[in-house]
Amino acid sequence: MEQTLTIEALSYGSAGIAHAGDGKTIFVKQGVPGDVVRVAIDEDKPRFARGHILEVLQDGPARIQTPCPYATACGGCPWQHIAYETQLEAKRENITAQLVRIGGINSKQADNLVEACRASKQQMSYRNKIEMAVGRDKAGRLALGFRRQDSHELIAVDRCPLATRHLERAPKALRGALRFLAGGNEHTTDDNPLGLYRVGVRSSERTGSTEIALWTKPGVFPRAAAARTLSSTLKATSIVRVLAYEGKQRSIKGVEVLAGKGFWQETLARFTYRISAPSFFQVNTAQAEQLISLVIEGLDITETSHVADLYSGAGTFTLPLADRAGEVIAVESASSSVRDLRRNAETAGVWVDVRGGDSARELAHMGHLDALVVDPPRAGLTEAAIAGIAQAQPARLAYVSCEPATWARDVARLADYGYTLTRVTPVDLFPQTYHCELVSIFSR
């Protein structure tokens, strides 16, 4: 079934939103507001439908040429064909819509609470990290690249224009080096040569640090050969092997240093962070500094403040907080991040009470807090965490989120415990995608 439609808005995803003649909502892949398109319906549900564009009959004013030749194949940046100002507006609108639909706040109030999205000075060449999957091409050779959108299909790319200039051509360089390393294993039936299933690369334009991380299954591995083969690739300052089984619930069995320092370094808000390969760190350094500024500004911290930082990672917010507050407690469950945070605090010369474990459980033992920072995973806060926040009674709460839906749910739950949302600032850490970080401030 085909229809001619006008795209009205962008969804939280890669699709544009249109409406059929009978009012049914239709999500159209790669649609841009203002487009007039001929659409084939792929999935027709009672309340909505999904389709793809057969032909763009008239370009919307926000449709532009994609700067990346892989944009329509790779699933990493589905908004490259959309003008940047329109991306920023859509990100703010999506957050406002979730606040109304899930957070239970009326539309006028939500519109007043959510500020304009903070733009990234660099819309391309901003990522300090790229991660690539490993497989085989049709000729049986090792393939290295990204996954096609909504698919497990591997797209072998030569470069990634979203990455920093030092990393942009890393896919091609690493593919060649790893094919050479695979050597005699190239024509086996193993889809993950050398037990390799993932390659991560980080590079800092501020420190000159570059780390290659090879994620492999535990087992025999040619460590010396890997070090020799990769040492000149990208002028890496560190090459490590992360031993872990593939899967979402993977546990890290260990990290082997193959060459160099064994860690990556980045400078953020005057602090130098030492980051291990398994540890999380924001991929857009300049925009991460905006997150820090918004958190510090929103919490009104003094030198006598008792502050906690939950889901702290390697200390993105912890170190700037410790530089200003009287006492800071940081809680993180990932062991590599806990170790990194302790080292980073020591290097920075700030004192932090670092606790490894579950944030909700540790929160119950903290007593009264003056201020609190939470930066949870996409699933948001647990009921136990929210109950712990109510028990600790911080006067101010900064909630950093990358998932508007679970954040909006938590806005409503926090309101039940007397916490009022006072400000929301979207920060665009991920240009060319629909993803966005936000910093929200609550008062008790």
The 10s digit of each residue's pLDDT in 169-179 is: 999 999 999 99
Kindly indicate the confidence band of residue 193, based on its pLDDT and cuts at 50, 70 and 90: low
Q: What pLDDT does 73 receive?
A: 83
Rounded to two decimals, the pTM is: 0.94
Q: What is the CATH number of domain 129-268?
A: 2.40.50.1070
Mean pLDDT estimate for the chain: 94
Confidence band of 74 (pLDDT split at 50, 70, 90): confident
Token output for 366: 């903290």
Mean predicted confidence (pLDDT) in 355-384:
94
pLDDT tier, 152 (very low <50, low <70, confident <90, very high otherwise): confident
What proportions of the chain, in percent to the nearest 5, are helix, strand and coil?
A: 25, 30, 40
Domain boundaries defined on the chain: 2-63, 97-121+284-443, 129-268
* Phi, then psi, of 312 in degrees rounded to 5: -75, -20
Tell me the pLDDT band of 158, cut-offs 50, 70 and 90. Answer: very high
pLDDT score at 346: 97
The Cα 255–Cα 258 span in angstroms is: 9
Extract the annotated binding site for S-adenosyl-L-methionine.
282, 311, 332, 375
Residues 153-178: what's their mean pLDDT?
A: 94
CA dist., res. 128 & res. 105, Å (int): 36
The DSSP letter of residue 18 is: E
pLDDT higher than threshold 80 for residue 116: yes
pLDDT in tens, 370-415: 999 999 999 999 999 999 999 999 999 999 999 999 999 999 999 9
- Count Cβ atoms below 10 Å from residue 254 Cβ, excluding itself: 10
Specify whether the CB–CB gap between 2 and 34 falls below 8 A: no
> What is the per-residue pLDDT across 3-55, written as a single tens digit (0 to 9) for each?
999 999 999 998 999 999 999 999 999 999 999 999 999 999 999 999 999 99
Residues in the annotated binding site: 282, 311, 332, 375
Is 436 one of the annotated active-site residues of the chain? no
Residue 248 has a pLDDT of 60
Same fold, 2-63 and 97-121+284-443: no
Choose between 117 and 191: higher pLDDT: 117
Q: Is 232 helix (H, G, I), strand (E, B) or coil?
A: coil
The CA-atom distances, in angstroms, between 369 and each of 62, 269, 295, 345, 364 are 47, 24, 16, 21, 11
Q: What is the rounded CA–CA span in Å between residue 210 and residue 388?
A: 40
In 261-315, DSSP assigns E strands to 264-268, 271-275, 306-310
Domain range 97-121+284-443, its CATH number among 3.40.50.150, 3.40.50.720, 3.90.580.10, 3.50.50.60: 3.40.50.150
| pLDDT above 90 as % of the chain | 87
Whether 275 has a pLDDT exceeding 50, the answer reads yes
**Taking Cα atoms as reference points, which of 21, 77, 32 lies closest to residue 57?**
32
State the pLDDT at residue 410.
98
With 70 as the cut, is the pLDDT of residue 202 above it? yes
pLDDT band at 186 (very low <50, low <70, confident <90, very high): very low
pLDDT for the residue 189: 43
Q: How far apart are CA 422 and CA 442, in angstroms?
A: 6
Take residue 225 and report the two structure tokens written for it: 């050969």
- Determine the pLDDT at residue 183: 77
What average pLDDT does this structure show over 194-202? Answer: 94
Select 2-63's CATH number: 1.10.3720.10, 1.10.1060.10, 2.40.50.140, 3.40.50.970: 2.40.50.140
**Residue closest to 161 by CA, chosen among 210, 121, 125:** 125
CA distance 146 to 74: 6
